[in-house]
Amino acid sequence: MENFNINLQLFAAGEIVLGTDGITNTYSGDVEEYPEGGGLSPEMKTYYSDYLIDNAEPALVHDRFAQKQEIPKGQGKSVQFRKYDPLPKITDPIVEGVTPMGQTINMGIVTATLAQYGGYVELTDLLLMTAIDNNLCMATKLLGSQAGRTLDTISREVLVGGTNVQYGEGQISSRDQIEAEGEDACLLTVNAIRRAVRFLKNQNAEKINGSYVAIIHPDVAYDLMSDPNWRTPMQYADPSALFEGEIGKLEGVRFIESTEAKVFHAPDLANDARNLKVAAATSASSKITFTGGQVYPGALIGRAIIIAGQKYYVSHNTSSEMTLSSDSRMETAASVSVSKGDNIYPGEAGSYGTDVYATLIFGENAYGTTSLAGGGLEHIVKQLGSGGSSDPLNQRATVGWKATKVTVRLVEAFMIRIETAASV
Position 274, amino acid: R
pTM over 0.85: no
On the CB side of 168, how many CA atoms lie within 13 Å of its CA? 20
pLDDT at 27: 31
pLDDT at 103: 80
CB-based contacts of 14: which residues, under 8 Å, 6+ apart?
38, 39, 128, 383, 384, 385, 386, 397
Q: Angle at the Cα of 415 (from 201 to 205), degrees rounded to 5?
A: 35
C-alpha to C-alpha distance for 302 and 345, rounded to whole angstroms: 14
Position 305, amino acid: I
C-alpha to C-alpha distance for 125 and 38, rounded to whole angstroms: 13
Count of beta carbons in the 10 Å neighbourhood of residue 395: 15
Q: What is the pLDDT of residues 398-422, one digit of tens each?
A: 889 999 899 999 999 999 999 999 9
SS in 3 state form for the chain? Answer: CCCCCCCHHHHHCCCCCCCCCCCCCCCCCCHHHCCCCCCCCHHHHHHHHHHHHHHHHHHCHHHCCCEEECCCCCCCCEEEEEEECCCCCCCCCCCCCCCCCCCCCCEEEEEEECEEEEEEEEEEHHHHHHCCCCHHHHHHHHHHHHHHHHHHHHHHHHHCCCCCEEECCCCCCCHHHCECCCCCECECCHHHHHHHHHHHHHCCCCCECCEEEEEECHHHHHHHCCCCCCECHHHCCCCCCCCCCEEEEECCEEEEECCCCCEECCCCCCCCCCCEEECCCEEEECEEEEECCCCCCCCCCCCEEEECCEEEEEEEECCCEEEEECCCCCCCECCEEECCCCEEEECCCCHHHCCEEEEEEECCCCEEEECCCCCCEEEEEECCCCCHHHCCCCCEEEEEEEEEECEEECCHHHEEEEEEECCC
pLDDT at 39: 60
Rg (CA), the chain: 28
pLDDT tens string, the chain, 424 residues long: the values are 444 343 333 333 333 333 333 333 333 333 333 333 346 677 677 777 777 778 778 788 999 999 988 877 777 788 888 777 777 788 888 888 888 888 877 777 888 888 999 999 888 887 777 665 577 788 888 898 999 999 999 999 999 999 999 999 999 999 999 999 999 999 999 999 999 999 999 999 999 999 999 999 999 999 998 888 888 887 776 666 788 889 999 999 999 999 999 999 999 999 999 999 999 999 999 999 999 999 999 999 999 999 998 999 999 999 999 999 999 999 999 999 999 999 999 999 999 999 999 999 999 999 999 877 666 888 888 888 888 888 888 888 888 999 989 999 999 999 999 999 999 8
Q: What is the pLDDT of residues 56-88, one digit of tens each?
A: 787 889 999 999 888 777 777 888 887 777 777
pLDDT at 391: 84
Count of beta carbons in the 10 Å neighbourhood of residue 351: 22
C-alpha to C-alpha distance for 316 and 343, rounded to whole angstroms: 19
Count of beta carbons in the 10 Å neighbourhood of residue 259: 11
Q: What is each CA distance from 350 to 158, 168, 280, in whole angstroms? A: 21, 12, 25
Sign of the alpha-carbon dihedral angle for 37, 41, 42, 44 = negative
pLDDT at 72: 73
Position 230, amino acid: W
pLDDT at 32: 30
C-alpha to C-alpha distance for 335 and 103, rounded to whole angstroms: 59
pLDDT at 388: 80
**CATH topology for 170-260+354-366+410-420?**
hypothetical protein PF0899 fold (3.30.2320)
C-alpha to C-alpha distance for 279 and 290, rounded to whole angstroms: 4
Paired sense of beta strands 310-317 and 282-285, if any = unpaired
C-alpha to C-alpha distance for 17 and 31, rounded to whole angstroms: 9
